[in-house]
Chain A
Amino acid sequence: NAGVTQTPKFRVLKTGQSMTLLCAQDMNHEYMYWYRQDPGMGLRLIHYSVGEGTTAKGEVPDGYNVSRLKKQNFLLGLESAAPSQTSVYFCASSYVGSRSNNIREQFFGPGTRLTVL
């Protein structure tokens, strides 16, 4: 299994441009998440999805949109990129059902480094 994959790995945008980040998982997980990570800070949740066709806002959703048309894919869109969106973006997924100890571990992708000029 590839686990969680993200494309692209790197991207440079100019202010006002748009782009879509793709996350794919092959573990049949129901839940998927998008985070951003800024220097000196932990991961902050942007949006998440609890199943195909559903999305919800996280801690820092402004300026981003998401879609979950297929269970295995979770897309993160930037309609009009701003320098404040320069960050490393991580996608993660987790089980719906709990493990034996009822803890839902999240599995992370390798990240996308985005720079907005």
Chain B
Amino acid sequence: GESVGLHLPTLSVQEGDNSIINCAYSNSASDYFIWYKQESGKGPQFIIDIRSNMDKRQGQRVTVLLNKTVKHLSLQIAATQPGDSAVYFCAEGGTSYGKLTFGQGTILTVHP
């Protein structure tokens, strides 16, 4: 079936650097995309979302970019902090009953 995948399973950065986490998706019918953050031992937590008719959306220290031509999604985190260390998932949805399809996740490690 359709699925969402990630290019890089791990990302290691220094505190203060900018981080970019990538995601490839395959379902062109997806209506929206969501980035989730999952800290160790916790459930996923919403970060930011973007509709399929947009190409960029900004939040606090985070920006999501959507390139529908190549079916690519990215999450940019500015001035990365140790508290940003977590697993980040992209998910696509909108096709049926709010169901989401998740990618495998990227582990972000921020070194002080």
Give residues in A with beta carbon < 8 Å to B. Answer: 4, 31, 33, 40-45, 48, 50, 56, 58-59, 90, 92, 94-95, 101-111
Contacts and interface: CB of A to CB of B under 8 A. Distances in A.
Contacts of B43: 4, 90, 92, 108-111
14 contacts: A42-B91, A42-B105, A43-B102, A56-B97, A58-B99, A90-B44, A95-B98, A102-B32, A103-B31, A103-B32, A104-B93, A105-B34, A108-B36, A108-B45
Interface residues of B, number: 28
Interface in B65-112: 89, 91, 93-94, 97-105
- Contact residues of A: prevailing secondary structure: loop
A106 B49 CA distance: 11
A103 B42 contact: no
Nearest to B97: A50
B42 A43 contact: no
A59 B3 CA distance: 11
B34 A42 contact: no
Contact of B34 (A4, A45, A50, A103): A103
